[in-house]
Amino acid sequence: MEIVQPIRDKAKIEQMKKYLKSKSLRDWALFVLGINSGLRISDLLKFNISDVVDANGKVKDRLIVKEKKTSKTKSFPLSTNALEALTEYIRVNKPETVLFHSRKGNEPITRQHAYRIINKAARSCGVKENIGSHSLRKSMGYHAYMAGVDITRIQSILNHSSPKETLRYIGITQDELDDVYMELNL
């Protein structure tokens, strides 16, 4: 299995969102939710419509998921972009049970299919790094870190055991850490 990278360039993320939206609202909503939630693809794909829509048919402001890998319950608010993407996708496509259903029936798309969707969008938008479905989770952590969010908060969001693990996971290289010394230059 190849190590995938975060999508470091925000302009490429925006290009990928536009590309995916032009191809499929489902794929666009999956990408936007994934890049804004930090969830693993296995947790994204298991969402049912009842997990994200309230009794009045409105997309919930906060989602709750029991993570498959850790068995921990995670509760998180939806960003404006994720809320907008899910609302538009659900309004137009009206999924019945499974949120990100395959075209073959009422089953979720597979992890492999999600990988192909994300990888094709990345290649179409000129992203050169190794990209896969895990890149969504890594990108969320990477951009939070670059925005100045404390690494221990990102560690908590991603359910990692140490800040060092989180830094390695989100692709912060020694060169980027060395840049801090050079830029600070007190």
One of 12, 26, 40, 101 is an active-site residue; which one?
Answer: 40
36: nearest Cα among 179, 168, 157 = 157
One of 12, 17, 46, 137 is an active-site residue; which one?
Answer: 137
One of 69, 72, 94, 104 is an active-site residue; which one?
Answer: 69
What residue has token string 């060092």? 164
82: nearest Cα among 108, 59, 101 = 59
Rounded CA-CA distance 60/64 in Å is 10
For residue 160, indicate whether it is catalytic: yes
For residue 8, indicate whether it is catalytic: no
One of 89, 142, 145, 169 is an active-site residue; which one?
Answer: 169
For residue 40, indicate whether it is catalytic: yes
For residue 137, indicate whether it is catalytic: yes
Q: What is the DSSP letter of 74?
A: E
Neighbours of 26 (CB within 10 A): 21
For residue 113, indicate whether it is catalytic: no
* Count of H-run helices and E-run strands, the chain: 10, 2
For residue 181, indicate whether it is catalytic: no
Rg (CA), the chain: 17
Query: Residue 38: what residue type?
Result: G
134: nearest Cα among 19, 45, 10, 18 = 45
One of 134, 138, 142, 145 is an active-site residue; which one?
Answer: 134
Task: Just list the catalytic residues.
Answer: 40, 69, 134, 137, 160, 169
